[in-house]
C-alpha cells in the first residue's frame, strides 16, 4: 500500500521509555516538543451527556428484515452527522478480540530491545515507531505505534510482524479476516441507507489493502492535559474499525462535531467505526470523514487498534455515479488514490485541507 511504503517518519524518542522516566520521577520534566501550545485543544464537551454522543448501531437490527430499513437509515445519518458510530452485536467472536488485544498488549510489555526487532525502516511507516514526524521542530504525539500491512496476505512484510507473544501473528490473521468481512458488510448497509447499490460501494474496497495500526498511549503524570496522544486528523482510507483496551475504563478518543470536541465513551465489546476520506469522496459527501484525536490519562496507559480498509488504487477515485445523480452533481473531483495520499501527507495532517481541495461547486 502506497501510504506505508513510501512515506517515512523522522526518528524520535521512544515514548513508552520517555514516559517511564517522566512518570517515576527520574526526570519528571516532559520535553517541550510534546507540550501543546494550543490551549483551545483542551476545550472538550465531555461529561456524561456526551458519553453516548456518537450513535450506536446494532448489526443484528441491520440483518433483521423487520428492522433493517430503519437501522440502515440510522446508520446513514450517523455517517453523515458524526462520521462515527459504535457497532454492537457485530458478530466478531469475543475470543478473537480477546486474543488480539492480549497479544497486542503482550508486545508492548516487552523490553524495548525486543520491540525494536520490529522497528520501522527509513521511508516506511510500517513497523514499530512513531508516524508523521516530518520536521525537527514539529510538535510530537505522546504515543508509540506498530503499523502492519495485513491484507492481501502477499503484501505482508513479515520483518515487522512480532514473533512474540507466540500467538501474535495468528491472532492478527484471524482478527483481520473477521473484521474485513464485517467492514464489507457495513459498506453494503451504508449503501442501502442512502439508496445506492450495495455491490458498487463494497466493490470499491473489497479485496483491497487493509492495514492495522496499534497505538500505545503511555500515561503522563506530570502533564496529561498538555500532551496529545494522537493529533487531530482524518483517516485517509475508506472505513476504519477501532478497538481499544484500557484498564479502569480509561477513554481517550475525541471526535470533532460542529467545531467542538466530543469525548467518546467506548461501549464494552463494541467497535468504534469511522468514515474515512476515501468513503467521503465515493459517497459524494453523504458520509463524512471527520477529525478526531486521542488524549492521554495521567496514570493509566491505553492501547487502541485501528483497522484501515483502503479503496482500489489502480483506478481513479470519484463519487459513485448513482450518488452524483442523486446529489445533482459531483461534489468531489476525481483523483488517483496515490496522489491523494501524497496530498494527505504533504498537508501534514492539517485538518481536512487535503479533502477540501478536491471539492467542486455544484
Ligand X SMILES: O=C(O)CCC(=O)C(=O)O
Give the interface with ligand X as residue ranges (CB under 6 A). 213, 215, 230, 235, 242, 244, 252-253, 292, 294, 304, 306
Residue 64: CB minimum distance to ligand X, A: 30
Grid cell in block for residue 94 = 469475543
Q: Of these partners, ligand X, Fe ion, none, which one is at the site of residue 182 (CB under 5 to 8 Å by kind)?
A: none
* Three cell numbers, residue 159: 520483518
Among 126, 235, 280, 291, binds Fe ion (CB under 5 A): 235
Q: Which residues pair with 217 in a beta bridge?
A: 302
Q: Give me the least distance between CB of 284 and Fe ion, in Å please.
A: 22
- How far are the Cα atoms of 40, 207, 321 from residue 204, in angstroms, in the given order? 38, 9, 13
Q: Which three cell numbers stand for residue 116?
A: 525494536
280 lines the binding site for Fe ion (CB under 5 A): no
Which CB sits closer to ligand X, 82 or 319? 82
List the grid coordinates of 346: 504533504
Closest CA to 190 of 288, 97, 105: 288
Q: Which is nearer to Fe ion, 141 or 235 (CB)?
A: 235
Closest CB to Fe ion belongs to which residue?
235
The 144-173 contact track toward Fe ion, x by CB under 5 A, reads ------------------------------
Grid cell locating 77: 445519518
The bridge status of strand 84-88 relative to strand 56-58 is: parallel
For 172: left if phi > 0, alpha if psi spans -120 to 50, otherwise beta; the answer is alpha
The minimum distance between CB 196 and ligand X, in angstroms, equals 26
72 vs 87, beta carbon nearer Fe ion: 87
Helix (H/G/I), strand (E/B), else coil: 273:
strand
Question: Judged by CB, which is closer to Fe ion: 92, or 242?
Answer: 242
DSSP notation for 91-160:
---HHHHHHHHHHHHHHHHS-HHHHGGGB--TT---EEE-----STTS---S-EEEEEEEESGGG--GGG
> Which CB, 194 or 220, lies closer to ligand X?
220
* Minimum distance, C-beta of residue 252 to Fe ion, in the bound complex (Å): 12
Query: Smaller CB distance to ligand X: residue 19 or 191?
Result: 19
Cα 278 from Cα 24, distance rounded (Å): 43
Stretch that binds Fe ion, among 1-9, 34-42, 219-227, 235-243 (CB under 5 A): 235-243
Nearest to 335, CA basis, from 269, 282, 265:
282
State the Cα–Cα distance between residues 210 and 150, nearest whole angstrom.
Answer: 6
Least Å from the CB of residue 79 to Fe ion: 15
Q: Which is nearer to Fe ion, 99 or 254 (by Cβ)?
A: 254
What does 213 bind: ligand X, Fe ion, none (CB cut-off 5 to 8 Å by kind)? ligand X
Q: Which stretch binds Fe ion (CB under 5 A): 140-148, 165-173, 227-235, 348-356?
A: 227-235
Which residues would be at the binding site for Fe ion (CB under 5 A)?
Answer: 235
Amino acid at each position: 500500500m502506497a501510504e506505508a511504503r513510501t512515506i517515512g517518519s523522522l526518528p524520535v524518542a521512544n515514548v513508552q521509555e520517555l514516559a517511564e522516566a517522566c512518570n517515576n520521577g527520574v526526570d519528571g520534566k516532559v520535553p517541550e516538543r510534546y507540550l501543546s501550545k494550543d490551549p483551545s485543544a483542551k476545550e472538550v464537551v465531555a461529561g456524561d451527556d456526551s458519553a453516548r454522543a456518537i450513535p450506536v448501531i446494532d448489526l443484528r437490527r441491520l440483518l433483521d428484515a423487520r428492522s433493517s430499513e430503519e437501522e440502515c437509515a440510522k446508520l446513514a445519518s450517523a455517517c453523515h452527522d458524526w462520521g462515527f458510530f459504535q457497532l454492537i452485536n457485530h458478530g466478531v467472536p469475543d475470543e478473537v478480540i480477546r486474543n488480539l488485544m492480549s497479544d497486542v498488549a503482550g508486545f508492548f510489555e516487552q523490553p524495548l530491545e525486543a520491540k525494536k526487532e520490529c522497528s520501522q525502516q527509513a521511508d516506511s511507516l510500517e513497523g514499530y515507531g512513531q508516524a508523521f514526524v516530518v520536521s525537527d521542530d514539529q510538535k510530537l504525539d505522546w504515543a508509540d505505534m506498530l503499523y502492519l500491512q495485513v491484507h492481501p496476505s502477499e503484501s505482508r512484510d513479515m520483518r515487522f510482524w512480532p514473533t512474540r507473544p507466540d500467538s501474535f501473528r495468528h491472532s492478527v490473521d484471524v482478527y483481520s479476516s473477521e473484521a474485513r468481512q464485517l467492514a464489507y458488510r457495513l459498506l453494503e448497509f451504508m449503501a442501502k441507507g442512502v439508496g445506492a447499490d450495495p455491490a458498487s460501494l463494497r466493490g470499491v474496497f473489497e479485496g483491497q489493502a487493509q492495514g492495522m495500526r496499534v497505538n500505545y498511549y503511555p500515561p503522563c503524570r506530570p502533564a496529561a492535559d498538555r500532551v496529545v496522544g494522537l493529533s487531530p486528523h482524518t483517516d485517509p482510507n475508506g472505513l476504519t474499525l477501532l478497538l481499544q483496551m484500557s484498564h479502569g475504563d480509561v477513554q481517550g478518543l475525541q471526535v470533532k462535531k460542529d467545531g467542538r470536541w466530543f469525548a467518546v465513551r467506548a461501549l464494552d465489546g463494541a467497535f468504534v467505526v469511522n468514515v474515512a476520506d476515501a468513503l467521503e469522496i465515493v459517497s459524494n459527501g453523504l458520509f463524512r470523514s471527520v477529525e478526531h484525536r486521542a488524549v492521554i490519562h495521567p496514570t493509566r496507559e491505553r492501547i487502541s487498534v485501528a483497522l484501515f480498509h483502503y479503496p482500489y488504487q489502480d483506478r481513479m477515485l470519484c463519487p459513485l455515479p448513482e450518488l452524483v445523480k442523486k446529489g445533482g452533481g459531483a461534489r468531489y473531483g476525481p483523483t488517483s488514490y496515490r496522489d491523494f495520499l501524497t496530498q494527505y501527507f504533504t498537508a501534514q495532517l492539517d485538518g481536512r485541507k487535503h479533502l477540501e481541495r478536491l471539492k467542486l461547486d455544484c
